[in-house]
Amino acid sequence: MTITLRNPHSVLAALEHRAHDVIEIVVTANPSPGWGEVMEQAKIHKIPVRTALAAAPKDRVGKSERQSGSEATVRDRTPVTVEQLFAMSPPGPISKSPDAPSVSEGVAAKGNPHGIWLALDCLQDPHNVGAVFRAAAFFGARGVIVTRDRSAPLTGTAYDVAAGGMESIPFAQPPNLARALEIAKKSGVWVLGSSEHAQQPLSRIKPDRPWLVVVGNEEGGLRRLTLELCDEVCTIPQLGPVDSLNVSVATGILLYALNS
């Protein structure tokens, strides 16, 4: 399967981590600086680049660089198994061979030395999924679990919003989240759920162990069975008049706290 990427940052990340999966690049007659860099890297990797007519000016007013009309066709990344996700060594350089596992390269080795992973419980918006992957990559998470069922697919939109984060972190796509949480526990990882209804504040959670942080659906939060499988559940205390956070913002706060 292939995806279409329209953010030059996500294309550059694909070229850096797995150039062999970039099939074709199409740019407008007057590409932006970001796409100019994409063209330079494509030439190095001998990837075909063709020119397409630019979108009409009226369609480009107020549009971001990733909506400029340029795009790249890229193969989907191959997920690892949940067992592999928790068996991986601490982040570090890996082989770029086409036969190498689809694992993280260059993820920050700083932060929580025990490791932090993420699990997404039925997120529906690909924009949120992409933003969560971006936060995960920024804070050096070691992997992400995204279930195949009841979750937004990992589309080009998610890759573009992640702005490279989808390329720099390994992920698993099991059919069942509950089973994945059980595997995490058997691997020695503690499961931390995030819920606005929890009584325990995030400040009570100590970064003294490996954590798998589970964030919930945009509307319903964590499912009942997911909550039952958590070792701890915490909330991010409300300090102002708005009573909820976007899931990607909450994820960033959780990851920062557990890395501190």
Structure confidence at residue 105 (pLDDT): 38
More confidently predicted of 78 and 107: 78
Write down the pLDDT at residue 54: 52
Amino acid identity, residue 149? D
Residues 64 and 142 in one domain: no
pTM: 0.85
Looking at the structure, tell me whether residues 24 and 53 fall in a common domain.
yes
How many folded domains does the chain comprise?
2
Among residues 45, 75, 105, the one where a domain terminates is 75
Give the residue numbers spanning the domain of 8: 2-75
CATH no. for residue 46? 3.30.1330.30
Q: Decide if 89 contacts 150 (C-beta within 8 A).
A: no
Are residues 159 and 194 located together in one domain of the fold?
A: yes
User: Encoding tokens for residue 41?
Assistant: 């890297």
Residue where a domain stops, chosen among 37, 52, 75 = 75
Which is more confidently placed, 46 or 62?
A: 46
Q: Is the pLDDT of residue 67 over 60?
A: no
Q: What is the mean pLDDT of residues 190-209?
A: 95
Percent of the chain past pLDDT 70, that is, above it, reads: 85
By the 10 Å C-beta count (0-12 exposed, 13-18 middle, 19+ buried), 128 is classed as buried
